[in-house]
Amino acid sequence: MHTHSKQSKHRGLKLVSQSALFSLLILSTQTFAAAGDPDPALMANKAGFAKCNSLIRHTFRFHKDSQSYRVNTRYDKETVAHSIDIDMTYGSIGETIVQSTHFERRDGVCYAYSSASFNQRGSCVDIMNKDGGKYVDSNAGAIWSENKLGATRIMTQTGDFCTSYFLSGEHRKEDRY
């Protein structure tokens, strides 16, 4: 999102231009709850990002089993043809997953760079072992591992809960349409 600001001569207040406020209003209209069964790929198309629908749907495939989810798109209207960010929350109370993915399109290839986080009750070490994760390292109270799909998983323990952060990237050829 492109914003402009001006420095006020009075008490150092910053004034945000009308175009920046308008941009914020446009972005807020791109947030949808599951009531209308929003498709993140169609939301991206509506914004102006196309030919990566199969990768977008693959990236957000896990929300389909969820009773509730919400989708948001973030983009710069000048570069949306080449990149967009899509955020989604899904799951249920106590088992909410927050996923954010940056999509890019260049040279006939679509790229997705994702991060997702969620909490689980239990020990991070026990959870990692149960899930079949491969231990990589530990640093600053965090356990680094790799899951079966090759995604990096960073786990931190807070009391009885383990917070997991998944980081992954993938690519595939652009869709024909």
pLDDT for res 34: 44
Query: SS3 of 59, please?
Result: helix
pLDDT for res 68: 84
Identify whether the C-beta of residue 100 lies closer than 8 Å to the C-beta of residue 166.
Answer: no
pLDDT for res 86: 97
pLDDT for res 8: 26
pLDDT for res 53: 97
pLDDT for res 29: 38
Strand partners, 166: 116, 153
Q: Which two tokens stand for residue 77?
A: 């209207």
pTM: 0.77
Other Cβ atoms within 10 Å of 157 Cβ, number? 16
Identify whether the C-beta of residue 70 lies closer than 8 Å to the C-beta of residue 34.
Answer: yes
Report the chain (177 residues): mean pLDDT per 10 consecutive residues.
27 35 41 62 96 96 85 96 96 89 97 96 95 95 93 96 96 92
